């Protein structure tokens, strides 16, 4: 209902935006689904600070964290309708929109570390991927890191066999569905805002998250075990409504592009530190047992999950996967 109402007012809303620009008052509604004290939450606030300072108050950025405006399933539609101007959705969200290439970021173990990751997100492949959003009415501005994901549940998990039969919450992603099935577990697609209650009530047994999301959403209170598999990456694309962005005065747009570059540097610098700090907090809470797999155990998880690359190749695009292998030096046979 909320988005249907937005659809009825989108023409009026865009007209008001253009009038506001002409009057020298530019408002950017920046909506996201995570907490303020996560890497994305902090980066959004930093962009707000830079944008307002550098435009001398001409631009006002209103940040709405924790799904205050829309649940994660509704975000992209809201942006396309013009109900919000800026989002930073997880990369898995673009698959259902028709940009299936973004699902390459969901492939397990395709990036060994941030250095490998940034060869893609900060290189030609990243630019090519963002450009694929423009026919959808979306302008891609940057990639922001969250971190590498680990599995949690109320069951100790040391080997892939320990995952069998678990109901695991995932984002909506065909790649993640295949990942979970490869472990003998059952994928459960669910909005991020609903995960804590689902874990608390036993609707799902576990999930996968970077540690910053795991801690800030208080999942450590309702999960007994966390295994540091670092099996997948969770990141975001900062995007804007293309019509709104193209309608900005050129000098304002240039200033905002600079603010976004600096906010991106900040976001990616703090991501690893935030996850490390939150891991220490999880351990200190005493509520979740944290397990680090041995090299042999990690190799077993990797062996179980890397076949997902081949299974999803036709969906994502074999040439894209090969290009990432080439950039990062990944060898699926190892």
- Residue 333 falls within a domain, yes or no? no
- Residue 151 falls within a domain, yes or no? yes
Please give the pLDDT value at position 162. Answer: 98
1 falls in which pLDDT band (50, 70, 90)?
A: very low
**Overall number of domains in the chain:** 1
Please give the pLDDT value at position 150. Answer: 98
For 62, the token pair is 């209103």
Please, what is the Cα angle at 14 between 249 and 19, to 5 degrees?
A: 55
Residues in the chain: 334
Q: Which domain holds residue 74?
A: 2-328
Confidence check: pLDDT of 243 > 70: yes
Please give the pLDDT value at position 334. Answer: 76
Rounded-to-integer distance, Cα 307 and Cα 247, Å: 45
Rounded-to-integer distance, Cα 28 and Cα 17, Å: 9
Confidence check: pLDDT of 40 > 70: yes
**pLDDT tens, 288-332?**
999 999 999 999 999 999 999 999 999 999 999 999 999 999 988
Nearest by Cα to 235 from 258, 211, 261, 210: 210
Nearest by Cα to 30 from 19, 18, 45: 45
Mean pLDDT, range 123-140, rounded to an integer:
97
Please give the pLDDT value at position 107. Answer: 97
**pLDDT tens, 139-175?**
999 999 999 999 999 999 999 999 999 999 999 999 9
- Residue 76 falls within a domain, yes or no? yes
Confidence check: pLDDT of 285 > 60: yes
67 falls in which pLDDT band (50, 70, 90)?
A: confident
- Residue 334 falls within a domain, yes or no? no
Q: What is the DSSP string of 127-174?
A: HHHHHTTGGGTEEEEEEEEEEEEEEEESS--SSGGGGTT-EEEE-S-H
- Residue 70 falls within a domain, yes or no? yes
CATH code where residue 298 lies: 3.40.190.170
């Amino acid at each position: 209902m909320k988005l249907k109402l937005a659809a009825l007012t989108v023409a009026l809303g865009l007209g008001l935006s253009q009038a506001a620009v002409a009057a020298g008052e530019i408002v950017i509604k920046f909506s996201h689904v995570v907490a303020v004290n996560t890497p994305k939450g902090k980066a959004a606030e930093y962009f707000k600070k830079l944008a307002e300072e550098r435009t001398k108050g001409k631009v006002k950025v209103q940040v709405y964290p924790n799904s205050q405006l829309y649940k994660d399933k509704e975000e992209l539609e809201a942006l396309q309708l013009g109900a919000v101007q800026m989002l930073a959705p997880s990369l898995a969200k673009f698959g259902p929109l028709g940009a299936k290439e973004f699902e390459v970021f969901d492939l397990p173990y395709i990036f060994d570390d941030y250095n490998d990751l940034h060869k893609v997100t900060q290189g030609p492949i990243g630019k090519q991927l963002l450009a694929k959003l423009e026919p959808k009415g979306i302008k891609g501005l940057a990639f922001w890191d969250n971190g590498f994901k680990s599995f949690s549940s109320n069951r100790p998990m040391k080997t892939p066999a320990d995952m069998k039969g678990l109901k695991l919450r995932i984002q909506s992603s065909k790649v993640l569905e295949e990942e979970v099935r490869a472990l003998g577990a059952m994928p459960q697609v669910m909005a991020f805002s609903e995960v804590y209650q689902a874990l608390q009530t036993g609707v799902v047994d576990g999930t996968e998250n970077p540690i910053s999301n795991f801690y800030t959403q208080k999942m450590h209170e309702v999960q007994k075990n966390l295994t540091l598999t670092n099996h997948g990456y969770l990141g975001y694309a900062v995007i804007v409504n293309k019509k709104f962005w193209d309608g900005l005065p050129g000098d304002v747009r240039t200033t905002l592009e600079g603010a976004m570059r600096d906010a991106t540097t900040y976001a990616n610098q703090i991501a690893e530190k935030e996850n490390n700090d939150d891991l220490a907090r999880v351990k200190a809470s005493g509520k979740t047992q944290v397990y680090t797999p041995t090299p042999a155990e990690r190799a077993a998880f990797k062996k179980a999950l890397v076949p997902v690359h081949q299974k999803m190749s036709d969906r994502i695009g074999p040439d894209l996967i090969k290009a990432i292998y080439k950039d990062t030096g990944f060898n699926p046979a190892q």
